[in-house]
Structure 1
Amino acid sequence: FAVIGAIGGGLSFLFSRMSSDALFAGDVLQFAKTFLTGYQALFLVRIILTQFPKVKTEDFPWAVFHYPTEFVLSPTRAVFKPEAGVDVAPMIWLAAFSLAAELLTGPQGILQMTSPRIAGGDLDDLPFR
């Protein structure tokens, strides 16, 4: 419960700072969009790679997609074991990241609503940008 409280407190601080600082809100929005979109692409490639079981994902061309995602896929496979050769772990995480991207950075997302673009301005119009 302490971890959940710490995460909640951190998010509360983040959202309160974003509501008072438009530049910070814009930076957080851009970072979140880039991070979530990047991981969605990584998990999508991992889903495609599951269709080719003979491919060693630890080797060079595929290692770019293997190592950034394996730290979350491995524990997920312990809970949702591959059934009949179908690994559902990348699908679960792609769905989770897609949901997070929509809830945070989508048109009606939390970060989008605190961004200065919604308030009638643009990030380029802000001073010191």
Structure 2
Amino acid sequence: MDLDPGTAKLAISILGPFLSAYGFLFILRIVMSWYPKLPPLLFLTRKVIPPLGGVDVTPVVWFGLISFLNEILVGPQGLLVLLSRQV
């Protein structure tokens, strides 16, 4: 797939803040998991990854995935950053 530098810069300007905000929301979700009376938000992921030893790890898994995507796409050596620098 060929992306021109302008499109890559546009994707960075959209994906960068989105992935950062989503990561922050999952940090909040991890903190909220300390309060068990809150309704579950990650029930679909829990079907795949059940609680380990009574600890819900699904928010941590999602945070790791979002951080990985953020680094791969819009990090300092991310794919979109490298594509946006092409001349």
- TM class by smaller structure: 0.7 to 0.9
2:70 aligned to 101, 105, 128, which one?
101
Gaps of 5+ in 2: none
CA distance in 1, matches of 2:82, 2:35: 41
Equivalenced residues, count? 87
CA distance in 1, matches of 2:62, 2:72: 15
Structure 2 residue matching 1:95: 3-state secondary structure? helix
Q: Which has the higher contact order (CA 8 A, sep 6+)?
A: 2
For the 8 Å contact 1:36–1:97, the answer to whether it is kept is yes
CA distance in 2, matches of 1:85, 1:35: 31
Q: Which residue of structure 2 lines up, in the alignment, with residue 86 of structure 1?
A: 55
Q: Post-superposition, which runs of at least 4 consecutive aligned residues in structure 1 deviate over 6 A?
A: none
Aligned-pair CA distance for 1:84: 3.8
Question: Highest CA radius of gyration, 1 or 2?
Answer: 1
Gaps of 5+ in 1: 1-11, 58-65, 120-129
CA distance in 2, matches of 1:97, 1:29: 15
Could you tell me which amino acid in structure 2 is paired with residue 112 of structure 1?
A: V
CA distance in 2, matches of 1:41, 1:89: 15
Aligned-pair CA distance for 1:24: 1.8
Name the one with the larger helix percent: 1
Q: Which residue of structure 1 lines up, in the alignment, with residue 16 of structure 2?
A: 33
After TM superposition, the score normalised by the length of structure 2 is 0.85
